[in-house]
Structure 1
């Protein structure tokens, strides 16, 4: 599998499986939670509140792990390691906004709404047509 095929597989998995786990580190231990992801090419984006524990954890250690896919025992999934950057500009909030987010935020202009941008450092594709996991280091 060449790099472009690999990247397309990542995009396909994110597009068809937008809910996954985001793992941070808290007091030297992993802390995982489900999140809703969107993508800009292979960079992942997710919304959260400034008031969450994950934001404190990210400020201490911006390195994270994301797991997406795996809808059945043989379906493909990705493991992604990356670094988070907090985005607060109105333009990215506007672009990311979905009506389902009204459950947590008053609107796109909610002062607690931030977007976490996850820059990938590596991907691992599992359960692909390849017999072994396929890795892409960025």
Structure 2
């Protein structure tokens, strides 16, 4: 597995690619209390051009209350079918103004809310502070071919098809 740290625009591009392809993450709050971490699946709305990750949430949700108490969060994205993984530590901010809701609203959220005018709608922005990724260097097909080849010839794979590293997103 090779190491490739990315910075600024390249880091944001990789963050956007991996997070939006995975779509769902485990969103973890209450990080300071290791015995009571709270984790739940959340669907990302977008990763913007500055590397912020946006989510739709209920104002009355436990995660919103926990963010108000301590805004440090951890996100884990997994795209197993493409062997892509992302770990994000960040700071979460809650918005309930009409302009932000209008901008970030998705029709999919109607499954949980009575439209974007529902008074319970809030938007969460996660500003990454530390990001680490694991990805395939040559894509899923080539990686699988190398893996199968190693099995057929009876050798261990050298993991050279993988790449991992830090994503430094300047906020």
TM range (shorter): 0.7 to 0.9
- CA RMSD for the aligned pairs? 2.0
Aligned residues: 137
Structure 1 length-normalised TM: 0.87
Gaps of 5+ in 2: 138-159
Greater relative contact order, per chain length (Cα 8 Å cut-off, separation 6+):
2
User: Deviations 1:10-41 (Å, cap 9, x if unpaired)?
Assistant: 11112212111100017812111000112212
Matches within 5 A, 1:1-138: 1=4, 2-3=6-7, 4-25=9-30, 28=33, 29-37=36-44, 38-41=46-49, 42-72=51-81, 75-129=83-137, 133-137=164-168, 138=170
Aligned counterparts of 1:26 and 1:79: Cα–Cα separation in 2: 14
Instruction: Select the structure that is richer in helix.
Output: 2
- Give unpaired runs (5+ residues) of structure 1: none
Alpha-carbon separation, structure 1, partners of 2:104 and 2:74:
21
Which has the greater radius of gyration?
A: 2
Whose strand fraction is larger, Structure 1's or Structure 2's? 1
Query: Is contact 1:22-1:64 (8 Å) kept?
Result: yes
